[in-house]
């Protein structure tokens, strides 16, 4: 798969309105049966960033998620809280968040108990997005084997729904950061029904693209593409 540039939205205004209307109908269907434990404050749901041990900077790109969530709230009808929470895998609060985010540059370590809890969370319908901020790859692959020793990460085809959930990415992930100069790749761990439980973005660094322009000075079109792809991931997670 080749590296790509960044897409420019081509939908007409009517297509844009239709997309929002469809998202509203789907999300009402999804959120209506949720228990009160998933309703945080006055929002439909809240996402959480995973805090982990091992020495890696789980807190990196601190402004990335608020920027993404602001974009999602502005461009779709997804009623997500405007700021994320922080959660450890050992916390009972883990199961109140339908969407988890993990990033960093270095090492991480999960205990056997944490790996078991994450497996339970994912098998019960939870979703984890891992965004390699560079240097995470070898560590996260090792730790995911603790969670699902029987599963292998597979690269998702560009036709997969995650690349078209709200905005079209016919050529896959945008290339945000140079890293090793490789093309960006999106890997997944799938359940027995083909649902993406874990989505792993590699050689792209979406979090850098989400942060304010003043932080990484990325071109506006690339930053928009990063936010759009982040929106796709969130919409996919909440509608599958």
pLDDT in tens, 115-161: 999 999 999 999 999 999 988 999 999 999 999 999 999 999 999 99
Residue 12 lies in a domain: no
Residue 3 lies in a domain: no
Q: According to the model, what pLDDT value does residue 129 have?
A: 98
| DSSP letter, residue 5 | -
Residue 13 lies in a domain: no
Percentage of the chain beyond pLDDT 70 is 82
Element containing residue 27 per DSSP (H, E): helix 13-31
| DSSP letter, residue 190 | E
Q: How far is it, in rounded angstroms, from Cα 178 to Cα 203?
A: 7
Residue 52 lies in a domain: yes
Residue 59 lies in a domain: yes
Q: In this structure, what CATH number is given to the domain that contains residue 30?
A: 3.40.50.12140
Q: According to the model, what pLDDT value does residue 41 have?
A: 56
Which residue is associated with the tokens 């989505």?
Answer: 199
- pTM, two decimal places: 0.82
Is the pLDDT at 34 greater than 90? The verdict is no
Residue 28 lies in a domain: yes
Is the pLDDT at 186 greater than 50? The verdict is yes
Which structural domain, as residue segments, surrounds residue 213?
18-239
Residue 208 lies in a domain: yes
Would you say the C-alpha torsion 118, 121, 123, 129 has a positive or negative sign? negative
Residue 6 lies in a domain: no
Q: According to the model, what pLDDT value does residue 214 have?
A: 72
- Give strand pairing partners of 224: none
Q: According to the model, what pLDDT value does residue 31 have?
A: 44
**Which range (26-30, 164-168, 209-213) has the least confidence?**
26-30
**Per the structure, how many domains does the chain have?**
1
**Model confidence pLDDT, tens digit, residues 62-84:** 999 999 999 999 999 999 999 99
Let me know if 131 is exposed, middle or buried by CB neighbors in 10 A (0-12, 13-18, 19+): buried
């Amino acid at each position: 798969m080749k590296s790509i540039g960044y897409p420019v939205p081509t939908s007409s205004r009517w297509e844009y309105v239709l997309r929002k209307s469809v998202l509203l109908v789907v999300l009402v269907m999804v959120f209506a049966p949720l228990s009160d434990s998933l309703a945080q404050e006055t929002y439909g749901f809240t996402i959480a960033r995973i805090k982990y041990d091992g020495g890696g900077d789980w807190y990196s790109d601190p402004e990335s998620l608020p920027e993404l969530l602001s974009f999602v709230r502005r461009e779709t009808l997804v009623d997500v809280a405007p700021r994320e929470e922080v959660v450890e895998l050992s916390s009972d609060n883990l199961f109140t968040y339908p969407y988890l985010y993990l990033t960093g540059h270095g090492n991480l370590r999960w205990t056997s108990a944490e790996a078991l809890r994450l497996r339970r969370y994912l098998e019960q319908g939870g979703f984890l997005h891992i965004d390699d901020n560079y240097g995470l790859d070898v560590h996260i692959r090792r730790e995911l084997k603790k969670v699902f020793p029987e599963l292998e990460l597979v690269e998702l085809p560009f036709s997969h729904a995650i690349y078209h959930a709200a905005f079209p990415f016919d050529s896959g992930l945008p290339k945000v950061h140079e890293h090793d100069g490789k093309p960006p790749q999106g890997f997944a761990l799938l359940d027995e029904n083909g649902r993406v439980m874990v989505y792993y973005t590699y050689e792209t660094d979406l979090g850098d693209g989400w942060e304010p322009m003043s932080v990484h000075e990325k071109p506006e079109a690339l930053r928009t593409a990063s936010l759009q792809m982040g929106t796709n991931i969130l919409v996919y997670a909440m509608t599958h």
